[in-house]
């Protein structure tokens, strides 16, 4: 009777981070820009991962949903970002994330205008899967419907506004200071202040034709 050889479980070795080991810090703007200028391998993916959150978030804030063409809009924003960097038109006076949010603002406003024109003919919004979600417990359905209508009206007015003014308003709502808006849009602080003030007045004038219970454009927290 032969002796059975001991069975050994074959296991693959894998690297495991030691407890308390520090994760590598994310690359800075300067490091990413230098890698881009050098044409380092994989820099496109690194830029994408670095800027995708702000691009996606900005588009969602402007459009209010992610429709079938959302991926195309994200791609369009990144094409402009890469083109800007390739032509060395990014002066580095603001952060890459801030610059990406401005580009996403322009892409989003253009898409918003196109959707408004298109929906005069046909509504291409996909139906929600499984039917509409029930209202949360304790929620006021009437108030929620009213809030949704206000947001829809806000987007409609933004789409009809002057692009520079609408961009200044959106950046302000996203928390950028006046000096940051000036740097991001490539104008002086005085010009940025003028766009923001005129944008508020233009938006206020549009609200006046609607119900009295509209958000106040002078209070950015009401436009979030």
Domains of the chain from N-terminus onward? 28-122 (1.10.1740.10), 144-224 (1.10.10)
Residue 129 is predicted with a pLDDT of 41
Residue 49 is predicted with a pLDDT of 92
Residue 220 has pLDDT above 70, yes or no: no
Residue 51 has pLDDT above 90, yes or no: yes
Map tokens 């938006």 to a residue.
203
In whole angstroms, what is the distance from residue 63 CA to residue 111 CA? 8
Per-residue pLDDT tens digits for 153-200 = 778 888 888 888 888 888 888 888 888 888 888 889 999 999 999 989
How many C-beta atoms surround the C-beta of residue 38 within 10 A?
9
Query: How much of the chain, in percent, has pLDDT values that exceed 90?
Result: 23
Region of 104 on the Ramachandran plot (φ > 0 left; ψ -120 to 50 alpha; else beta): alpha
Is the CB of residue 80 less than 8 Å from the CB of residue 89? no
Residue 25 is predicted with a pLDDT of 61
Average pLDDT, the chain: 75
pTM: 0.64
Query: Quick one: which of 27, 24, 15, 70 has its CA closest to 51?
Result: 27
Residue 222 is predicted with a pLDDT of 46
Q: Any idea what DSSP says for residue 128?
A: P
In whole angstroms, what is the distance from residue 29 CA to residue 95 CA? 7
Give the mean pLDDT of 204-213. Answer: 66
Per-residue pLDDT tens digits for 88-99 = 888 777 889 999
In whole angstroms, what is the distance from residue 78 CA to residue 39 CA? 17
The DSSP H or E segment spanning 169 is helix 163-173
């Amino acid at each position: 009777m032969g002796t059975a050889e001991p069975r050994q479980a074959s296991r693959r070795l894998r690297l495991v981070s030691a407890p308390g080991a520090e994760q590598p810090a994310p690359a800075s703007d300067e490091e990413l820009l230098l890698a881009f200028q050098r044409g380092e391998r994989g820099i496109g993916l690194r830029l994408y991962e670095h800027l995708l959150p702000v691009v996606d978030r900005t588009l969602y804030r402007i459009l209010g949903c992610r429709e079938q063409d959302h991926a195309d809009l994200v791609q369009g924003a990144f094409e402009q970002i890469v083109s800007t960097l390739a032509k060395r038109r990014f002066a580095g006076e603001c952060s890459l994330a801030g610059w990406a949010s401005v580009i996403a603002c322009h892409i989003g406003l253009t898409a918003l205008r196109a959707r408004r024109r298109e929906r005069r003919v046909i509504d291409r919004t996909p139906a929600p899967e499984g039917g509409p979600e029930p209202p949360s417990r304790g929620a006021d359905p009437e108030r929620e419907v009213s809030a949704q209508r206000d947001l829809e009206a806000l987007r409609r007015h933004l789409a009809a506004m002057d692009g520079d003014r609408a961009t200044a308003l959106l950046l302000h709502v996203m928390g950028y200071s006046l000096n940051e808006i000036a740097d991001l849009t490539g104008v002086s602080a005085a010009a940025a202040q003028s766009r923001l003030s005129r944008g508020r007045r233009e938006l206020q004038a549009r609200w006046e034709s609607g119900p009295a219970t509209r958000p106040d454009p002078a209070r950015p927290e009401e436009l979030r």
